[in-house]
Chains A and B, each alone.
Chain A
Amino acid sequence: MSGMIVLVLRLLLAAALYAFFLAALFFLWRQFKSGENNHLPAGGRIAIRNLLDEQQQPITFLKTVITIGRDADNDLILDDDTVSSRHARLFYQQKQWWLEDQQSTNGTFLNGQAISTPTVVISGDRVGCGRIDLEVIIQTAAKLGD
């Protein structure tokens, strides 16, 4: 009896050991697939602030692709009738953040200009999605270290 219990526990033990490996390999594979880019340094992180709501704190993202829209599966959900379900996206490439319209009904604006191709954003830029105005804040590496 004790022997059978321990045998089962030993099988689970081996499973736990190799589950650790699988989890580590899964991480490595994902890191490889995304071209290392989800390894976003603190120096490139993006924060977004809603300009229409003064009380709200900027929200910092750690991801390299941020989708904006009305649907619940977006990273940034803007619950407004003028915002399309998938409105726009921000992505990090070549060490810069880019804004891209996702064929939204009411268009995506960068500092008041409607955009049709991916456009570079810098810290302090204003992004308009329908009626909503957002401010983009990009952290700099200078904040780091000592």
Chain B
Amino acid sequence: MKVKDFVQERNPRDQVQNRLLVFAAVFLALYALILTLAPAVRLRSWDADLRWTHWIGFAAWLGGTWLANLRLQRRLTDRDPLLFPTAAFLTGWGLLTIWRLDSGFGLRQTIWLLVSLAFFLWLIEKPGLSNLLQRYKYVLLFSGLAITAMTLVFGTYPGGTGPRLWLGCCGVYFQPSELLKLLFVLFLAAYLASSQPIKTGLIPLIAPTLVLLISAIVLLLIQRDLGTAILFTAIYTVVIYLATEKKRILGISALILLTAGLTGYLTLGIIQTRVNAWINPWKDATAGGYQVIQSLIAIGAGGTFGRGPGLGSPSLVPVAHSDFIFAAIAEETGLVGSLGLLGLIGLLLMRGLRTASRASSSYQRFLAAGITAYLGCQSILIIGGNLRALPLTGVTLPFLSYGGSSLLIAYVALAFLLNASNQIDEQAEAKKPTTAYLIIAGLLLASLAVLGFLAGYWGYYRSRDLQTRNDNARRVINDRYVRRGAILDRSGRIITASTGEPGNYTRTLVYPPLSPVVGYSNIYYGQAGLEESYDGYLRGEAGTSASELWSNHLIYSQTPPGLDIRLSIDLTLQEAADRLLFGRIGAIILLDASSGDILAVATSPTFDANHLAENWQTWASDPSGPFLNRAVQGKYLPGASMGVFLLPAAEDAGIDLSKGPQSLDQHSLAGSAHCAFLPGDFKSWTQTIANGCPAPGYELLNALEGGLNLFSARLNWNRDPDLPISRAPSPSTTSAFSTLLGPVISPLQMALPAAAISTNGEMPAPRLVTAIHTPQSGWVALQPGEKKRIFSENAAGKTARALAASRKPYWEAVSEIRLSQDKYAWYISGTLPQWPGTPLALAVVVENADAVIARFIGQQMMDRALNP
């Protein structure tokens, strides 16, 4: 007689379990291998420090799981074959993720895993133990409560300051509320199994358990361990419902949780913070909502396929190894991984419920149901917190999160569950599971499905907006690994560039006085200036082909190399302008009058984008406002200088200018305004306006049809010119200049119509960025903006010649503004129409100075620009 060998020797359960464990082991080995290679991928070179330490964790998992598998096959021949491989899969995944986040925590968790597996092995050798525990239900529960109460006196927080929920010393800590959770399940199962047959009626049956539940919850509330308190209520509800099959229990429990939550919200500060951070985290993104938002950003960064193990930045989420391990996994494995993870949890829960519905005794049945409820509710609670489906509660994700107590208790619970699944009741086997089990299974699966849907919503649908948020440090980290484009001046000299090796590129502004224009891209202070407005090109996201972008994202989880941009700035003239303003408060702007190219834009005082961290507070609180770019953001009254633009307007309107102005000084409610210099010819419109006499301007304004509208309609003084550097930190000094006295304008707004006088009456659009260096077609020039004719050619030329400075190839005009608190002087100038070179236009404003100084600075600047 012979027997087909495999039929006799192999239990089909063992085959299934072995096969599943092989897949899990292959997954984890691949995961560990990718983690090892990840540094090479990030640097795009084999010359990288490959990671090896996490293989300790993998080896411990492999050895421990293999041993446990052998013992299970020997001892529990009829166990459910899906439970252990699923739990082992989750454990290994969590363990490697913890290693990836922090190898110190990884090593500790590896040791805890070995301890947990030792307990697990001991428990499966003693299948009768859980039945023995049934007899000591009260002892167990009260000792659990007592140990938990001890934390009120002796509690510590292992990581420093935080909720004092741990007991222990010398590096080994235990969280008693984890133990209490399991003891509570054991007690409930034991109590219901012994009391249900003798007590009729719902109230007499559950009254004693309610007392214990409330005392446990009060204890947890005193400790501020809200998550565990919610969990106790959920476990209790599920077990009582499965035992009694009365649907109203679900309703009543939901009502109680809602009422308790609402009362807590109105009375307890901590609940209020948590709930507010849940309802609207965006409102408070730096404090209460910070964790949730960082978690969502991480999930969004993962997208569909994930950034790859070791290739993301999940450690940016606070406590990623514990509370936010789901977000960490979602970032690195994407929707593909997070849906798989939810599926694994679902599989574990369904097999747990199946075990419960067929267990051999009612005690085992309630025990298995309670354990499933504990694993299920805790997983849903924390994953829901990560996905902003639920308020954040500081519970762990069973099997995955860092935490010795949590892992140990999960493995003890798993051993009880496996023992229960080994003793299936033959009568129950044929029986269909009752409605109550189906409802609980449906609720658990529906919750997981909602979580899966939300993971897709944040990871796919909302991914884009989450990634572009300023508090997403991944962009700045990316700049350390991929060269960010350089910013060059018009002749190709470097203004700012990233230097170094992949992995530690640093951004250096070679010419710091341009900080207000170039801005910064900083991990703590976000982005500003051109670094912000041209971020797309500088980091290679714009101007690169879609396939290039996609392959870089998929393979390296990085952006392509950045594109260089060229500015209109001439560094030589820029240096001259900065030197002229040194020690003063004011601004200089020099334009190419025909193209609108900004050749120099100086503001003083200024800041240094290379040293933001050391000086941010000083600069932000400095009343002179170093962050303010006075040349384009400063708001000043034009004063008598507006007359310069009224002259050609009057010329065009056909007003007779031969008679001359009636008065020179202006007297109004705001005080008296005088000429900056005494004009040589009191009766000449141009002489009086060039010397800053205020009255002639107002006289022309009254004579002109439309009056003040001229400024907004023709000179566009009512809106800021379109320049890509507007969003610097909002300055505090602008408010000092009242808008009641007329339009307030920036030096740039003064220089633009000045350019029209110097050319042929056409006002150019300002331009700062002239070309972008694309990988396909080299330097691509950006088109200048459209010009706008504001004066006739004749009127512009006539005005320029009339304002001409003596023995200079340019015209000029000065004015002085004296208000009760502020005093400043303008100098505007431009080349004469016959000038053979590039036409230029200049505006200078100097605060706390008179017109002599403004004119000196302006003339120096013009002379430098015209005689290089």
Contacts and interface: CB of A to CB of B under 8 A. Distances in A.
Interface stretch (A70-78, A97-105, A106-114, A118-126): A70-78
A37 B157 CA distance: 52
Contacts of B7: 61-63, 75
Contacts of A61: 7-8
B24 A20 contact: yes
A16 B343 contact: no
A45 to B, nearest CB: 10
A144 B75 CA distance: 12
A98 B426 CA distance: 18
Interface stretch (B39-47, B145-153, B235-243, B784-792): B39-47
Contacts of A76: 1, 3
B34 A9 contact: yes
A27 B41 contact: no
A38 B16 CA distance: 13
Interface in A39-60: 39, 41-44, 50, 53, 56, 59-60
B1 A7 contact: no
B719 interface: no
Given A2-B40, A9-B30, A60 B8 contact: yes
A73 B26 CA distance: 33
Contact of A79 (B2, B4, B309, B347): B2
Interface in A1-50: 1-7, 9-10, 12-14, 16-21, 23-24, 27, 36, 38-39, 41-44, 50
Interface in B1-60: 1-4, 7-8, 11-12, 16, 19-20, 23-24, 26-27, 30-31, 33-34, 37-38, 40-41, 44-46
B128 interface: yes
A18 B337 CA distance: 10
A145 B128 CA distance: 8
Contacts of A14: 333, 336-337, 340
A143 interface: no
B638 interface: no
Nearest to B27: A16
Interface residues of B, number: 54
Contacts of A41: 78, 424, 426, 429
B40 A20 contact: no
A5 B37 contact: yes
A141 interface: yes
Contact of B1 (A16, A20, A56): A56
Interface string B73-110: 00001100110011001000000000000000000000
A3 B44 contact: yes
Contact of B77 (A7, A24, A42, A72): A42
Contacts of A12: 26, 30
A18 B340 contact: yes
A72 B308 CA distance: 50
Nearest to A18: B340
Nearest to A35: B430
Contact of B4 (A5, A42, A74): A74
Given A53-B1, A59-B8, A78-B1, A13 B30 contact: yes
20 contacts: A2-B37, A2-B41, A3-B556, A4-B555, A13-B333, A19-B23, A20-B85, A23-B19, A24-B20, A24-B86, A27-B81, A59-B3, A59-B8, A61-B8, A63-B7, A72-B4, A75-B3, A75-B7, A76-B3, A77-B2
Interface of A: 1-7, 9-10, 12-14, 16-21, 23-24, 27, 36, 38-39, 41-44, 50, 53, 56, 59-63, 72-79, 95, 132, 141, 144-146
Given A20-B27, A38-B12, A42-B77, 17 more contacts: A2-B44, A2-B45, A4-B555, A6-B37, A7-B308, A10-B306, A12-B30, A13-B31, A16-B30, A17-B27, A20-B344, A36-B429, A39-B424, A53-B1, A61-B8, A63-B7, A79-B2
Give the 6 A-B CB pairs with smallest separation, nearest first. A16-B27, A3-B555, A2-B40, A20-B23, A77-B2, A17-B340
Interface of B: 1-4, 7-8, 11-12, 16, 19-20, 23-24, 26-27, 30-31, 33-34, 37-38, 40-41, 44-46, 77-78, 81-82, 85-86, 89, 127-128, 305-306, 308-309, 311, 333, 336-337, 340, 343-344, 347, 423-424, 426, 429, 554-556
